[in-house]
Amino acid sequence: MISERFSYEHFKALGLDSPEANRLATELQGIIAEEVLADLRVLGEVVAGALRRLGHQIRESACAIDQSGGAHVGYVDASSGSERQHHRLRFDLDLTVSAGFPGYEPPERKARLP
C-alpha cells in the first residue's frame, strides 16, 4: 500500500539519488504494480470478453507480480489442447512501473554552488 514512507519528505531525507532513495523507489515500483494489477486484470477481461463473443474460448492463464515493478496477465484459448503449439489465440498484458527520486538540480542553481 502506498503510505507515508513514500512521502516527499522521506525521499528527501534519504538524499537525492542516494542508494537508500533508489531502494525505496524500487520498493514503490512493486507497490504500484500491486495496486494496478486488479485493474490490469479487468482490462484483460474486457478484451477477452470481446474475443469470446467472436467465438474464441480465451481465458486468463497467468497472473504475476514482479516486486521490482512489473505485472503480467496472460490469456490463452487452449480449446485445442494445453500444449503451447495447440493454443489457438493468446495475448499478454505486461506492465512496467518506473519510479525514481533523482538528484536533478536546475542549471541556474548549479551555477550558484561553490
DSSP per residue, 7-18 = SHHHHHHH-TT-
In three-state secondary structure terms, 10 is helix
Dihedral, CA of residue 33, residue 36, residue 42 and residue 46, to nearest 10: -80
Please say whether the beta carbons of 69 and 84 come within 8 A.
no
Q: Give the mean pLDDT of 78-92.
A: 73
Q: In what order do the strands lie in the sheet with 58-66?
A: 58-66, 70-77, 89-96
Distance CA 98, CA 94 (A): 13
Q: Determine the pLDDT at residue 100.
A: 84
pTM over 0.85: no
Could you read off the pLDDT of 4-53 as tens digits, one per residue? 999 999 998 998 888 899 899 999 999 999 999 999 999 999 999 999 99
Place of cell 516527499: 8
* 87 band by pLDDT with thresholds 50, 70 and 90: low
* Contact residues for 21 (Cβ-Cβ < 8 A; gap 6+): 11, 14, 15, 101
Q: Determine the pLDDT at residue 78.
A: 77
* 55 band by pLDDT with thresholds 50, 70 and 90: very high
Q: Give the mean pLDDT of 61-83.
A: 86
Q: Determine the pLDDT at residue 110.
A: 52
